[in-house]
Chains A and B, each alone.
Chain A
């Protein structure tokens, strides 16, 4: 919702301002880029972007609401069929205002207001946002990583124990039975530990 403007109306009164802005919007949609005074461009921006939002919605009700502002059906048709698909990917900010200097005659500051019809290029998130995201990401994996490390240590200890147990077993076949049992007991633990790692990772 555009913020209502404070201060005096453009032109001679409220009705004059509505007509002025409607005509400017129609001119903007036909020519894609128009030069006016800075004040008019700034007043036109919220209206024009609202009309484009209606055009992106595209249904009959939206079309009638646009037609209540711009009475030229040709312009509205172009807005709905040509301009709306071009800005379908864009999430607001459909117009661009560039200040272009002062008018000869009354020295009024002039500006060019144009539709932003270039395809959207997503820029990388700002440093603050990305930093915040990175922090949250780092915080989450840390405990998991620690757990994984602990689990890995345990598994390594188990493996060492089993090796220690196996080595004597080879030397002393007499104790094989007991050692094998121990190895069998250890083995499932080893299997479980990597499985836990995988789950945590």
Chain B
């Protein structure tokens, strides 16, 4: 088993850790029934009825799959 020869400095540790960043999710903004909705681009959306129950997945006006 490999064994470290020297103690790693706090500077090296924090320099490594500072590179781990979260990237923002790219969303598209659209207005549906007067509400602004953010959603992932190029992805089928869930169509809901008035009570909020999911009905089916829709993409470009075509029913794609059941939920």
Contacts and interface: CB of A to CB of B under 8 A. Distances in A.
Interface of A: 33, 35, 98-101, 112
Interface residues of B, number: 7
A100 B67 CA distance: 10
A101 B43 contact: yes
Nearest to A99: B43
B38 interface: no
A35 B65 contact: yes
B47 interface: no
Interface in B6-59: 42-44, 57, 59
Q: What 7 A-B pairs come out closest when comparing CB atoms?
A: A100-B44, A99-B43, A98-B59, A98-B64, A112-B65, A98-B44, A112-B64
B22 to A, nearest CB: 16
Contacts of B43: 99-101
21 contacts: A33-B65, A35-B65, A98-B44, A98-B59, A98-B64, A98-B65, A99-B42, A99-B43, A99-B44, A100-B43, A100-B44, A100-B57, A100-B64, A100-B65, A101-B43, A101-B44, A101-B57, A112-B44, A112-B57, A112-B64, A112-B65
